[in-house]
Amino acid sequence: MPAGGRPTVRSRRLGAALKRYRRAAKIDQAHAAGVLGVDQARVSRIESGHVTARILEVRVLLDAYGVNDPEVLAKLEDLAKRSKHRGWWLEHAAHLRQDYLDYIALEDDATYIREWQPVVVPGLLQTAAYAEAAIAATPHYIAPERIAQLAKVREARQAKIEEGGATYTAILWEAVVRHPLTSVSIHRDQLSAILEVGERQNVTVQVLPFGAGAIAGSTSAFQSFSFESDPTVEAVALENLRGASVLEAPEDLAAYANSFDQLRSAALAPDASARLIQSALQSSEEDAS
């Protein structure tokens, strides 16, 4: 059972998938319980994520639902295994809100991550110095030791991208590139880091130029996640001052997927974006000399 009886992101995703396949097969929970030889309450708790299905239960249920795709079986078995494992982020649970832990778990499991950021450099691209400055800039006081802890978590999140574990696309508004959030030297180092990370095969960085017009103000910052080889959006995260909220309703996912597609279409191509960032970096260096 997930710690404290609270559904984990992974157990919730597993339960939601099993529920989806059960409904597609037009089988009710009572019948599913009979197939497993358990009471209906267990099936309900599996589907809500309050209980993690055993691997054998996953196999039996998928067979009963007529799901024989080996890829689906392998994915859900893997999810059942990993639902019982402690993620690296739980080492920081003492000083992170639960919604932020859930957000990190989603990010860590994702195969595709797409991000729009109109204000600051995305956390997955931030240097350590920039991260500390961005966290310290929040309107409420944060103790220096906590700033360091949060920056360390942000750095740990970046391993997913550095190791090629996900395809990452970031769209930044031009203001993020042109206007330093912190000292000019930190900003320059940050721009250099973006150019370097942007050369990775699994990373795409695009800039939405000032000339794109009102679309820059059409939505606040967000991340969308996909967990399959098919990049269909399955969750959206909205980061805030105290953590993050996660959206999973189909209408929300469709709206944010459409918004990202519009932003990407209006943004400069990756090569042109890199040239704009390089130009901003050179201008910053010239101003400092």
**Do both 188 and 272 map to the same domain?**
yes
| Dihedral sign computed on CA atoms, order 38, 35, 55, 3 | negative
Which of 67, 83, 99 represents a domain boundary (last residue)? 83
For the chain, the domain total comes to 2
Q: What values do phi and psi take at 203, rounded to 5? A: -120, 135
**Do both 43 and 159 map to the same domain?**
no
d(CA 224, CA 75): 20
**Do both 44 and 141 map to the same domain?**
no
Helices (H), 170-269: 174-178, 184-197, 250-266
Say what the pLDDT of residue 289 is: 57
Nearest Cα neighbor of 40 from 53, 49, 31 is: 31
| Dihedral sign computed on CA atoms, order 166, 167, 172, 177 | positive
Amino acid type, 274: A
Q: What is the DSSP letter of 277?
A: H
Q: Left (φ > 0), alpha (ψ -120 to 50) or beta: where does 213 sit?
A: left
CB 55, CB 77: distance < 8 Å: yes
Question: What three-state secondary structure class fits 178?
Answer: helix
Length of the chain: 289
Q: What is the pTM of this model?
A: 0.83
**Do both 61 and 98 map to the same domain?**
no
Q: Which residues pair with 207 in a beta bridge?
A: 172
**Do both 107 and 200 map to the same domain?**
yes
Which of 83, 100, 125 represents a domain boundary (last residue)? 83
Q: Two tokens at 178?
A: 């042109």
pLDDT in tens, the chain (289 residues): 454 445 678 888 899 889 989 999 999 999 999 999 999 999 999 998 889 899 999 999 999 999 999 988 988 998 888 877 778 888 888 888 888 888 898 899 899 999 999 999 999 999 999 999 998 888 777 888 888 988 999 999 999 999 999 999 999 999 999 999 889 999 999 999 999 999 999 999 999 999 998 888 888 999 999 987 667 888 999 876 666 788 888 899 999 999 999 999 999 999 999 999 999 999 887 666 5
CB 94, CB 119: distance < 8 Å: no
> Domain limits at 78?
3-83
Q: What values do phi and psi take at 213, rounded to 5? A: 85, -150
Alpha-carbon dihedral angle through residues 181, 182, 187, 189, given to the nearest 10 degrees: -140
d(CA 129, CA 170): 20
- The domain that contains 194 carries what CATH number? 3.30.870
Amino acid type, 176: V
